[in-house]
Amino acid sequence: MKILILGGYGVFGGRLVQLLAGQGLDLIVAGRDLQRARAFCATHPGT
């Protein structure tokens, strides 16, 4: 299942990603700052 998390690299979204990352889901992290999103995804496998 694919899940889109808007603002996924922020405080709330980041915690949500951490909770869902181990569930075998395909997480898509999006937001206004592409560089922050890429940096976040580089440190969080499964995103």
pLDDT digits (tens, 9 = 90+) for 1-42: 999 999 988 899 999 999 998 898 999 998 899 898 889 889
pLDDT value at residue 6: 92
Confidence of residue 46 (pLDDT cuts 50, 70, 90): confident
Q: Which of 30, 9, 42 is nearest to 17 (CA)?
A: 9
Q: Cα dist. 45→21, 23, 27 in Å?
A: 8, 12, 10
Measured CA to CA, the distance from residue 42 to residue 22 in angstroms comes to 16
Q: What is the pTM of this model?
A: 0.74
* Contact by Cβ (8 Å): 14, 8: yes
pLDDT value at residue 16: 93
pLDDT value at residue 4: 94
DSSP state of 9: T
Query: Which H or E run includes 36?
Result: helix 34-43
